[in-house]
Amino acid sequence: MIDLKLETLHLRSFSEGITPMSGATILVADDESVARELISNYLARDGHSLHTATNGVECLRLAREILPDLILLDVMMPTMDGLETCRRLRIDPLLGEVPVLIISTLDDRNSRLAGIAAGADDFLTKPIDSLELRVRVQSIVRMNRYRKLHEGRRELETAYIALQQAYDTTIVGWSRALDLRDQETEGHSQRVTEMTVRMAQAIGMSDDDIVHVRRGSLLHDVGKLGIPDAILHKPGPLSPEEWVIMHKHPEYAYEWLTPIEYLRPALDIPYCHHEKWDGSGYPRGLAGIAIPLAARIFAFADVWDALRSDRPYRAGWPIQRVRDHIANLAGSHFDPDITPTFLALHEMDV
């Protein structure tokens, strides 16, 4: 007698220790009103929202309306039994992933296999033990929520990738528009971007940093949208006053891109690509390693492509002449420590 009391206390303590899974929507399908009420009362203790159906047809209709987190199906029901209902749930595009707990008076192996074959996730026999029911429901609901969380995370990751691709497509479009505005440099943005990315990879920059390097390279001259055409397209040399205006384009880039959160990490190149190692560049006169690394490696590609390209006032330089020019500017225009890396990357260019 003492052992029975201890067992009762143990079960009560375990039952009261069940962590409530509040918020789960559960559909109970059973043709017996007493069974429906009993199950509903048991599960209501844990904060679940209960809905009931008296047969399989009603269950399917109600399930499409409320989209439950779990369905409890009695096997023996009129009109449509629980096994057939479960099979129809599994082929329904809207309900195919909803967990199903089969409840039956039969506890033999064949009955369990029939339930599993119909698509059930678990099997419970009558008479129903309240504690076992609550624990099994809790377990199924928890697993279903984890599955939904996992699926939601995958969907979020997919949406994020699509958004990033849309961003990058937009940036490429901007860079092409910039090149088209200045026909002398058509294709320049794409070429310097490819060279800069190669350089970034060669010196061991991380993939995450290279993403920003690529974006910054494509947008390096976005600030020139603020430069009047009369200055940007002037066929002859610029006057001192015009150079003052031209030198503002990195500042324009900074002002325009800073409010765009995802482009802030890419600002180093649009803002600092005209800085020089010896401090003689603009707009801030930065020197040495105070110049962001991304801007330092971009400077090589920018000068290389400018000198290699034909202009109305001169032909593009041969490769060796450009190589010699860049080598001679190591320590004044360019970072002397990474100049050999850039030249080595273009050693085989013809």
| End-to-end alpha carbon distance in the chain | 97
Burial label for 8, CB within 10 Å (0-12, 13-18, 19+), is: exposed
Residues belonging to the chain: 350
Neighbour count for residue 136 (Cβ, 10 Å)? 18
Q: Which residues contact 236 (CB under 8 A, 6 or more apart)?
A: none
β-sheet bridge partners, residue 132: none
Residue 245 and residue 227 in contact, taking contact as beta carbons nearer than 8 Å? yes
16: number of Cβ within 10 Å: 8
DSSP symbols for 195-248: HHHHHHHHTT--HHHHHHHHHHHHTTTGGGGGS-HHHHT-SSPPPHHHHHHHTT
Residues contacting residue 95 through CB under 8 Å, at least 6 positions apart: 60, 63, 64, 67, 89
Query: Is residue 130 packed enough to be buried (19+ CB in 10 Å), middle (13-18) or exposed (0-12)?
Result: middle
Catalytic machinery residues:
224
Q: What angle do CA 205, 208, 211 make, to 5 degrees?
A: 95
Please check whether residue 179 is in contact with residue 186, taking contact to mean a CB–CB distance below 8 angstroms: yes
